[in-house]
């Protein structure tokens, strides 16, 4: 291994899904900057491979092409991570897709695809990683949910439902896996400037977000990454089953989503 941090078999390992860009890539960089070795999993190999190579301390990065909604691909990807690094200490279930459409316009295929990626993916990756974490004394998992999982609104029948379910999955996982030394928490980001936001946030939604967020701006991927890193760190060693809104005060204001 090369890089500014030296690595050995006891160096912690973080797995980040959807790590090719946006919030996942920033989370990967946070772990690297904090001395971890990192496995980035993503369905988009063309974006993942160059992104992983460009990261600071890329010698401590393993990039694995994987669709998190496919049980066989998840099993094989996590086996690769264990074979390469020998352990897994943190898992961030970040891979997600958004379809913003009214109920009548959302096809069954879109509904299934959103739930398969945002919910099944977190279930499958947790199921694959947890036994490996247990072998080295435990670990921590963070599920990247959304304020759309806290507050119902128009256009988000599939996306909001998937994130609300992910928040409940977080609590189920925390209760069960806490007994074997794995803490599980969720982050509920407000709007963050990424390719996803470019895709689904219309000019009207952007303007409305400005009005309902007390800090009057979008978050950055790095702001979600540092909160995720905190939840994975020893500083959060008694935090389990919680949802941390990283949203500029949106949830506290108690207003509706645009």
Q: Which of 159, 209, 218, 238 is catalytic?
A: 159
Q: Find the shortest distance in angstroms from Cβ 1 to ligand NAD.
A: 25
For the question of residue 238 being annotated catalytic, the response is no
Residues 6+ apart with CB under 8 A from 258: 153, 204, 205, 208, 209, 211, 212
The rounded distance, in Å, linking the Cα atoms of 144 and 155 is 20
Tokens of 191: 């709007």
C-alpha to C-alpha distance for 139 and 13, rounded to whole angstroms: 10
Q: Tell me whether residue 54 or residue 135 sits nearer to ligand NAD (CB atom).
A: 54
Distance CA 191, CA 22 (A): 12
Cβ 94 to ligand NAD shortest distance, Å: 5
Minimum CB separation of residue 124 from ligand NAD in Å reads 10
Q: Which is nearer to ligand NAD, 69 or 126 (CB)?
A: 69
Instruction: Tell me if 214 sits within 8 A of 253, measured CB to CB.
Output: yes
Residues that bind ligand NAD (CB under 6 A): 17-18, 20-24, 42-44, 66-69, 94-98, 117, 121, 144, 146, 189, 191-192, 194-197
Strand partners, 106: none
Q: How far is the CB of 103 from ligand NAD (least distance, A)?
A: 19
Provide the annotated active-site residues.
Answer: 159
């Amino acid at each position: 291994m090369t890089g500014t941090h030296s690595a050995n078999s006891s160096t912690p390992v973080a797995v980040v899904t959807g790590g090719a860009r946006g919030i996942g890539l920033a989370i990967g960089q946070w772990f690297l900057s904090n001395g971890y070795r990192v496995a980035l999993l993503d369905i988009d190999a063309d974006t993942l491979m160059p992104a992983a190579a460009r990261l600071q301390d890329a010698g401590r990065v393993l990039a694995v092409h994987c669709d998190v909604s496919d049980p066989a691909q998840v099993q094989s990807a996590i086996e690769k991570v264990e074979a390469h690094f020998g352990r897994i200490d943190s898992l961030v279930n970040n891979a997600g897709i958004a379809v913003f459409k009214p109920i009548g316009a959302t096809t069954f295929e879109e509904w299934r695809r959103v739930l398969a990626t945002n919910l099944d993916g977190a279930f499958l990756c947790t199921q694959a990683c947890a036994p490996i974490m247990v072998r080295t004394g435990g670990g921590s998992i963070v599920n990247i949910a959304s304020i759309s999982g806290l507050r119902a609104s128009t256009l988000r029948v599939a996306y909001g439902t998937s994130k609300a379910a992910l928040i409940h999955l977080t609590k189920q996982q925390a209760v069960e896996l806490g007994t074997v030394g794995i803490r599980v928490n969720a982050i509920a980001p407000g709007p963050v400037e990424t390719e996803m936001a470019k895709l689904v946030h219309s000019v009207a939604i952007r303007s409305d977000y400005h009005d309902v967020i007390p800090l009057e701006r979008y978050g950055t991927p790095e702001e979600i990454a540092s909160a995720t890193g905190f939840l994975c760190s020893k500083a959060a060693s008694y935090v389990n089953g919680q949802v941390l809104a990283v949203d500029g005060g949106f949830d506290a204001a108690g207003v509706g989503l645009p």
